[in-house]
Amino acid sequence: MLLLPDTPATRHIIDAEALARLPEGASLINPGRGTLIDETALLEALGEGEAEGRLRGAILDAFPEEPLPETSPLWTHPRVWVTPHMAGPTPLAAALDQVAEALRAFASGAPLDTVDPAAGY
């Protein structure tokens, strides 16, 4: 299962070499970012049509191009399941509490949750 950010270091982290290291019959699940997977390598690892490849299947929730183009072979591949990329609704009260907490911390000079722009997230 892949849950990584989209950064230069993670793009196509699952390429032909990484897929070849998976055990025969493994499945790939990606609820993270579509850029993590080299789709051409994935399709090769899955095999063509009914001809089985190294992988048993793939469950994909995100793609490099969204929405996934209608012409993508992932839509019709017999061992690929495409799921809707929807994390769910954000509860407004919880979101507002988080924003208020961050503003209080900022105003008091307390440390904030940090991001690392150099790392891409």
Hey, which residues are catalytic here?
A: 33, 85
Among candidates 40, 78, 84, 44, which has minimal Cα distance to 60? 84
CA separation for the pair 9, 61 (Å, rounded):
20
Residues 112, 104 contacting (CB under 8 angstroms):
no
